[in-house]
Chain A
């Protein structure tokens, strides 16, 4: 970047004639500061340009070709036309949004409930806080193999327990039917994402100044009132951050569905990411896969912009208050 950018920075040290000499020195220091900072950032930036930015550009380019294992040729917008005219895309997109909506809502609601429980002053809470974490740190794939076994109709514990209490009158293969496979995948996705949401909300709750609660308590406010009128507004930025991060991760979520159902049965769990992967990697249709990836990236960018906008609004409201 530019060498002279240091000149543009306002001098922030103490003022006055005696500082004249010092100011000259600091100016020199500042000037090299920008260069030095960019030198420090350069390796990370170059690495990400190579491994993330370039592939992103390449994905866009490939989406206009018929690239496959044999070669590639420019075919204009044919991939997109094919994609947009097929009825499947609409189904996949709405399924993806439904998947995202369910999973994120459950993560946020149960995250709030969990954080409230773990924040309550009851004996054992240090232990409880620790016991929440495992799904977050354990490899997602391994957790999913565990769920795969749990969902087994004949030998899994869920079907077994439901038969035992009489809800089911025979073995039920959760992953074999369209509806149940979809909701099972949602449950597993919630399981993977819930610990992190819970812990972040808990940290936010711990950061709420205690005197707010004490003042409300003295005024006779009930627990529920305090939760609604103090906790929720105070941790709202974190709720929003966690919502958008969950949206992005759920949208990108690949391993869970892939291990449980590979997108089946009969596409019932095929989200956009799974569709992209199937097309590109399993069928070697790179061009058509890339067109799907571009749609995914576009949607992700929209989510992120909405997020930035929401955070900005909240900040403004906080500053106004």
Chain B
């Protein structure tokens, strides 16, 4: 009853939804349309909404224009997976400690962790640059992995902590009373139960890692072989002209994996991500 809308009301609602989603999806729509047009059609003024020879040619030509493209995509994946693995290695034990134990300095230290979220890599670039140079990590994959993981650890701890808090304590206490060591309990009792939560946190970290590669890549790495996709597609910008259709095709290929992952897990992801913030 309360939720019923009159017809004009409904029309208005849908109209607003279309406007809202139009703004959100416009760049993707235009990226896709651009990727279908031949290059010479792109450079026609005035702008033409319809082209009579749409084709998928750009999707095959782009590999020739930028021969390293497969490598860039693989690099993006490799960097994101490594960042996720590294971040989780730090996140899992810490999140468990915060979810289960009471100790002096708990909320203070958690607050300090979360304060890290305040800084983006951009503020700390100068010393990070020096740090990476001192350890000989500049222009390696590690130059993008090490700082990348650091800024995702706090988020990971926060998300996983909220999940672990929902797992009943009784099982752990039983295992512990039976003489299992704490570490054994964590490994064999808690972690298997936490698999769904770990997947959500892992995917959230992976998506963030995939999204944030540009800055660290253009600042800490100048070796082509190690470049991730967001920096690699700059190669479509040539001296003579920008191959926009191929650049957009490469972008779409590059965002497809994350969109697919997201599509499958979106329900869990959204629930997991918002749980921590809404609970209060």
Residues of A within 8 A of B (CB): 1-2, 5-6, 8-9, 29, 32-34, 36-38, 40-41, 43-45, 47-48, 50-52, 54-56, 58-59, 62, 67, 110, 113-114, 117-118, 120-122, 128, 130-135, 137-143, 145-147, 149-150, 154-157, 159-161, 163-164, 171, 191, 194-195, 199-200, 203-204, 207, 213-214, 217, 237-238, 241, 248-249, 252, 254-255, 259, 273, 276-277, 280-281, 286, 289-290, 293, 296-297, 300-301, 303-304, 315
Q: What are the 5 A-B residue pairs with the smallest beta carbon separation, nearest first? A: A160-B47, A55-B127, A252-B120, A203-B274, A141-B230
30 residue pairs of the A-B complex, CB under 8 angstroms, read A9-B102, A33-B103, A37-B98, A37-B100, A38-B97, A43-B90, A48-B154, A58-B127, A59-B124, A117-B17, A120-B13, A121-B3, A130-B263, A137-B258, A137-B262, A139-B230, A139-B254, A142-B255, A146-B30, A149-B244, A154-B43, A191-B24, A191-B27, A199-B273, A249-B120, A280-B126, A281-B129, A290-B126, A300-B123, A304-B115
Interface positions, chain B 48-107, Cβ under 8 Å from A, are: 48-49, 89-91, 93-94, 96-98, 100-106
CA gap between A35 and B232 in the complex, in Å: 46
Interface positions, chain B 125-173, Cβ under 8 Å from A, are: 125-131, 146-147, 149-151, 153-154, 157
Given contacts A48-B150, A150-B27, contact A33 B102 (CB under 8 A): yes
Contact check, A145 vs B28: say whether CB atoms are below 8 A apart.
Answer: no
Q: Closest approach, in angstroms, between the C-beta of B218 and any C-beta of chain A?
A: 8
Indicate which residue in B94, B128, B154, B258 contacts A138 across the interface (CB closer than 8 Å): B258
Contact check, A157 vs B47: say whether CB atoms are below 8 A apart.
Answer: yes
Indicate which residue in A1, A110, A293, A315 contacts B20 across the interface (CB closer than 8 Å): A110
Interface positions, chain B 234-279, Cβ under 8 Å from A, are: 244, 247-248, 251, 254-255, 258-259, 262-263, 266, 270, 273-274, 277-278
Interfacial chain B residues near A248, Cβ < 8 Å: 117-118
Contact check, A139 vs B16: say whether CB atoms are below 8 A apart.
Answer: no
Q: How many residues of B contact A (CB 8 A)?
A: 100
Given contacts A128-B21, A138-B211, contact A37 B103 (CB under 8 A): yes
Contact check, B214 vs A255: say whether CB atoms are below 8 A apart.
Answer: yes
Interfacial chain A residues near B122, Cβ < 8 Å: 252, 254, 273, 276-277
Interface positions, chain B 174-231, Cβ under 8 Å from A, are: 176, 182, 207, 210-215, 219, 229-231
CA gap between A160 and B116 in the complex, in Å: 43
Contact check, B255 vs A34: say whether CB atoms are below 8 A apart.
Answer: no
CA gap between A54 and B127 in the complex, in Å: 8
Given contacts A113-B20, A143-B27, contact A171 B263 (CB under 8 A): no
Contact check, B231 vs A141: say whether CB atoms are below 8 A apart.
Answer: yes
Other A-B contacts than A149-B244, A163-B46, A191-B23, 17 sampled, CB-CB below 8 A, are A40-B97, A52-B116, A58-B127, A122-B13, A133-B262, A135-B27, A138-B255, A139-B230, A145-B251, A146-B248, A160-B47, A200-B277, A203-B274, A207-B278, A259-B214, A276-B122, A293-B124
Q: Closest approach, in angstroms, between the C-beta of A57 and any C-beta of chain B?
A: 8
Contact check, A194 vs B27: say whether CB atoms are below 8 A apart.
Answer: no
Interfacial chain A residues near B27, Cβ < 8 Å: 135, 143, 146-147, 150, 191
Q: Closest approach, in angstroms, between the C-beta of B130 and any C-beta of chain A?
A: 7
Interfacial chain A residues near B91, Cβ < 8 Å: 44
Least CB separation from A252: chain B residue: B120
Interfacial chain B residues near A290, Cβ < 8 Å: 126-127
Interfacial chain B residues near A214, Cβ < 8 Å: 2
Given contacts A203-B270, A276-B122, contact A122 B5 (CB under 8 A): yes
Q: Closest approach, in angstroms, between the C-beta of B114 and any C-beta of chain A?
A: 9
Q: Closest approach, in angstroms, between the C-beta of A86 and any C-beta of chain B?
A: 20
Q: Closest approach, in angstroms, between the C-beta of A319 and any C-beta of chain B?
A: 12
CA gap between A66 and B96 in the complex, in Å: 44
Least CB separation from B111: chain A residue: A308
Interfacial chain A residues near B31, Cβ < 8 Å: 146, 149
Interfacial chain B residues near A45, Cβ < 8 Å: 94, 109, 113
Q: Closest approach, in angstroms, between the C-beta of A136 and any C-beta of chain B?
A: 8
CA gap between A267 and B46 in the complex, in Å: 30
Least CB separation from B114: chain A residue: A304
Q: Closest approach, in angstroms, between the C-beta of B186 and any C-beta of chain A?
A: 8
Interfacial chain B residues near A161, Cβ < 8 Å: 47
CA gap between A237 and B129 in the complex, in Å: 38
Contact check, B126 vs A289: say whether CB atoms are below 8 A apart.
Answer: yes
Q: Closest approach, in angstroms, between the C-beta of A306 and any C-beta of chain B?
A: 12
Q: Closest approach, in angstroms, between the C-beta of A28 and any C-beta of chain B?
A: 12
Contact check, A44 vs B118: say whether CB atoms are below 8 A apart.
Answer: no
CA gap between A2 and B98 in the complex, in Å: 17
Q: Closest approach, in angstroms, between the C-beta of B161 and any C-beta of chain A?
A: 11
Q: Closest approach, in angstroms, between the C-beta of B79 and any C-beta of chain A?
A: 12
Contact check, B259 vs A134: say whether CB atoms are below 8 A apart.
Answer: yes
